Structure 1
Amino acid sequence: MTEQTPQSSTLHKALNRAAAGAIVAILAAVVLAADQFTKHLALTNLPYQQPVAVWGDALQFYLTRNPGAAFSLLEGQTWIFTVVMSIAALVIVFLTVTRVRSRVWAIVLGLLLGGILGNLADRVLREPGFFVGQVVDFINTPWMWPGMNPAIYNVADMFIVTMMIGVALLVLIGRRLDGTRERGASVRRAEADTDAAIAPATSEPEH
């Protein structure tokens, strides 16, 4: 009986292009819908820039509009973030079509794409106009930033931040987009030395 190599096992479990694309598209659509729906509820039910206690100081709702980045940085340069988010979304779509065959990468990139599209929709469709729209933020957790100006965020922001951490972790552990895992140079050298040591013992003697 032949043993299945790690490479063949990885290839056997890899996703095809259609499956990877479906996972990314479905998760992105779910996150986008959740983000826009919660923003609609916030705009409909919350007073503007007035704190609403949900769970003491641990969680508050505070409806506001953000024309800049986190902490309202670069408020007058909204179009820059629209361009950056558009490029990021296109990169994820390109990677999904051409390279992503890993289930975990498809999940992470799908959730990340949904978060990007959630805020991008605000930049494109909301006031004051196309490409310079203000992002709707309404979640405040003051305990996360003691002694600092609180950062107000939304559902899309949560997925963007957590999935960027996920991307960093996948890169650190050497998980490639196709599902294979990159091994460290020391491991490769050790395997090469082992193969070199075994080769003379397993070779057939000459007659």
Structure 2
Amino acid sequence: MTDPAPGADRPQDAGATAAEGGRAVVRRRRISVLLAVALLAYLIDLGSKLLVVARLEGRSSPIGVIGDWMTFQVIRNPGAAFGMGQAMTLLFTAIAAGVIVVIWRIARRLYSLPWAIALGLLLGGALGNLTDRLFRAPSVLRGHVVDFISVQHFAVFNLADSAIVCGGILVVLLSFRGSNPDGTTHGGPAAKAEPAGEKAAEPDGEG
């Protein structure tokens, strides 16, 4: 019986390395999408708040956008999205920071494009409102969020809230369809490519 020739296992190792490298490229691209969506959502929210504070705050009457059904009026909100929990400003600041940490941990195993978009919306919205809580009056960590979109018989909110809601809805839909951030499906096969050469290494049977 002869020993395997030196380097006989190298094709399998090279194939596995190439497949792993391909997965790493996909993950980097998905993280890039997440960050791009988050940055866009954050900048739009920040710009809109700066604009309405400069132009609308202090006005005695709201600005009609769609008749009386939707108007613009600046309200400083110490609570969560849509004015909920106004007595727990510090708690919601901590929650927003925690959401950002969780999103970043999930991004370490992110291979799904729809999940990248959903998490980007959540991240951008969370950063937008967290910026208000950190840097706006009355104090650090207790800042009041700028809300300005008023919908009749509903609530007053901002674009960060809208991004969070849209991202949350997308997460629910993806979960309902069985999709996971790492590209797998609930009870289904992984979407990650099988390392090249793995099948070739399996014995074809006794001969």
Q: TM-score, normalised by structure 1?
A: 0.74
Residues 155-194 of structure 1: CA deviation (Å, up to 9, x unaligned): 000011111111111111100112222248xxxxxxxxxx
Match of 1:171 among 171, 175, 200: 175
Residues 114-172 of structure 1: CA deviation (Å, up to 9, x unaligned): 01110011011111111000000000121xx3xxxx41000000011111111111111
Query: Does the 8 A contact of 1:102 with 1:177 survive in 2?
Result: yes
% of aligned pairs identical? 39
**Per-residue deviation, 1:75:** 2.0
- Whole-angstrom distance in 2 between the partners of 1:103 and 1:168: 15
- 1:104 and 2:111 equivalent? no
Letter in 1 for 2:184: T
- Whole-angstrom distance in 1 between the partners of 2:99 and 2:84: 19
- 1:44 and 2:54 equivalent? yes
**Per-residue deviation, 1:35:** 0.2
- Aligned CA RMSD, in angstroms, stands at 1.9
SS at match of 2:51: helix
The aligned runs of 1:6-17 (5 Å cut-off) are 16-17=26-27
Query: Does the 8 A contact of 1:14 with 1:103 survive in 2?
Result: no
Q: Which moved more, 1:63-72 or 1:163-172?
A: 63-72
Query: Does the 8 A contact of 1:14 with 1:179 survive in 2?
Result: no
Residues 81-123 of structure 1: CA deviation (Å, up to 9, x unaligned): 00001000110011102x2110111111011110111001101
Q: TM-score, normalised by structure 2?
A: 0.74
Aligned CA distance change for structure 1 residues 180 and 126 (closer, same or farther; 3 Å): same
Query: Does the 8 A contact of 1:15 with 1:102 survive in 2?
Result: no
**Per-residue deviation, 1:74:** 2.9
- Structure-2 residue corresponding to 1:65: 76
Q: Which has the higher helix share?
A: 1
Residues 20-60 of structure 1: CA deviation (Å, up to 9, x unaligned): 21111111111110000000010011143632111202321
Number of corresponding residues: 166
Match of 2:101 among 90, 96, 118: 90
Match of 1:124 among 134, 139, 145: 134
Letter in 1 for 2:171: V
Gaps of 5+ in 1: 1-11, 185-207
Match of 1:32 among 30, 42, 45: 42
Residues 6-28 of structure 1: CA deviation (Å, up to 9, x unaligned): xxxxxx89962211211111111
